């Protein structure tokens, strides 16, 4: 699956839907295996820790908040080893147009709170 292909765009739309649903359910975090399994059920083979997964997570956040005004959906997906998002999430959150601040934990916790508020009534 190549970024920009029809297959990738379909998987991206599915990922956005999966993460939105998760945000609506209280913004509880999930390990990478969960969205991978959800995508598989929808016909998209995306291994949890390789291939297009990091790009799909980044692009899902960018698609949902292209101007940086909304919380980043990818904050919901965490590593089993740390219980926190990967370094890629923090790099994304700190660059334009998002410009999130604070140490990693503060930034991430604030993002989860914002996700819960943003999607509570949707």
Which pLDDT score is estimated for 50? 81
- Token pair for 111: 């993002």
3-state secondary structure of 97: coil
Which pLDDT score is estimated for 4? 86
Which pLDDT score is estimated for 2? 87
Helices (H) and strands (E) in the chain, counts: 5, 2
pLDDT in tens, 57-114: 999 999 999 999 999 999 999 999 999 999 999 999 999 999 999 999 999 999 999 9
Residue 122 has pLDDT above 90, yes or no: no
* Closest residue by Cα to residue 32 from 71, 73, 85, 72: 85
Distance CA(74)–CA(55), nearest Å, equals 10
Query: How much is the average pLDDT of 30-58?
Result: 94
Which pLDDT score is estimated for 41? 96
Residue 49 has pLDDT above 90, yes or no: no
* Closest residue by Cα to residue 15 from 72, 92, 81: 72
Which pLDDT score is estimated for 51? 87
Q: How is the chain split into domains, by residue range? A: 6-119
Contact criterion met (CB below 8 Å) for 88 and 58 = yes
């Amino acid at each position: 699956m190549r970024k920009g292909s029809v297959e990738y765009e379909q998987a991206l739309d599915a990922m956005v839907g999966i993460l939105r649903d998760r945000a609506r359910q209280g913004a509880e975090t999930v390990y990478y295996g969960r969205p991978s399994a959800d995508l598989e059920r929808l016909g998209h083979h995306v291994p949890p820790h390789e291939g297009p997964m990091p790009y799909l997570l980044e692009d899902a956040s960018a698609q949902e908040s292209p101007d940086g005004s909304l919380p980043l959906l990818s904050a919901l997906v965490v590593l089993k080893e740390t219980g926190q998002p990967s370094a890629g999430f923090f790099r994304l959150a700190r660059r334009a147009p998002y410009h999130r601040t604070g140490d990693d934990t503060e930034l991430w916790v604030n993002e989860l709170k914002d996700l819960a508020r943003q999607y509570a009534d949707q």
